[in-house]
Structure 1
Amino acid sequence: MDYCGVEFTAVESAGGSWKWQLSILDTDKMRTSGQATSRAAAIMKAHEAIGEGLRTNASPDHEAQLSKLVRDVLHILHGARSLPPAEAIQALRPFVNTMHRRASENDRLADASAAAVGALVQRLEDKGVATDDLWEEAIEASLSFANEASYPG
C-alpha cells in the first residue's frame, strides 16, 4: 500500500494480530514497524508513523510544507471516493488534524480547505457516506489552496 508516497504493508500474523511495516529511505527518524489488533488499526498506525516521520524529516520551509500537504490531500481526495468510508477517513484525517494544529495565519483558502475536508470526514464518520457536493467542495477548496500555496503572493 502507499500513503503520502511511502510504501507500507499490513499483514496478519499467527494468532490473529496484525503487523505493519514501512519501506522508507531514512529510517533514523521514522518508526518502521509495529503491531495492532486489526487490519484497520495496523493501517491507521502505519499512517500515523508515516505522518510523524514526514513531519520530522520535512524541510523547515513552512510554505513548501503547506504546498506538499495540500498536494497530498488532493491526490487522496481524487482517489478516496472509491475507498470504503473507513479507509477514506483514515487517509484524510491526518490532513484535517495537521491543519487544525497549525497556527492560525489568516489564510482563508487554507481554512476553507481544512473546513471542507473536515466536513467531508465528519459526514463519512457520522453517516458512512458523503454526497458528491461534499466531495466536490473539498476538492475545489483544496485546489484553490494548492494554487495559492504553489504561487504565493
Structure 2
Amino acid sequence: MLLNRMIPKTLTSVQTNGFHTTAVCNEIRKMARLRVVDNCEIGKKAMAEGKPPRVIHVYNKKMVGFTGDMVLLAIKGEKKKGILVGCKQQQKPKMPRFDTNNVVLIDDNGTPLGTRIHCPIPNVLRTIMKEKTHSKGADYTKLLAIATKFV
C-alpha cells in the first residue's frame, strides 16, 4: 500500500478502470502463446480447449524467436519441439508478417507430427530450412513437403 502512494499512477503497471497499462510485447520469448497450424492430435485438442502452447525455450542466442527458429513448447502438460512458421513482430526484409504467431510441432528427429499445414507459410522458409538441415542431423525439409500454401 505504501509503495503505491509513492509512485505516481501513470508509471505503474496496475489496472486502472479495467484497462491494463503495460505495453504489448509481440516478440516470441518465454511464456509467449502460439497457435498450432498443423493437424496433429495434441495441437488440435489444445487449441479446441482454448489452452494454446506456451514457449519454454527459444533455440538461438538472442532468446527471441523469428520465423524458422526452433522452440520448445509446453502443450497439454508435455514438452514438444516446434518450428516457427509465422510471427507478428517486425521481420527481416522480404519476410511476410502475420496476424498470429504460428508454430508447427515436430519430433526430435525433425519430422512433423501432423500431415498437413493449414495456413500459408513464407516462401523464404525454404532457404532457411535447407541451411539448418544437416546430412547426419534432422531433416527439416519434410516440413515444406506437407505445406499446402506458400506466401
Same fold (TM over 0.5): no
Answer with 1 or 2: which has the greater Rg.
2
Which structure has more strand as a fraction of its residues?
2
Q: TM-score range by the shorter chain?
A: under 0.3
Normalised TM-score (structure 1): 0.27
Name the structure where helix makes up a greater proportion of residues: 1
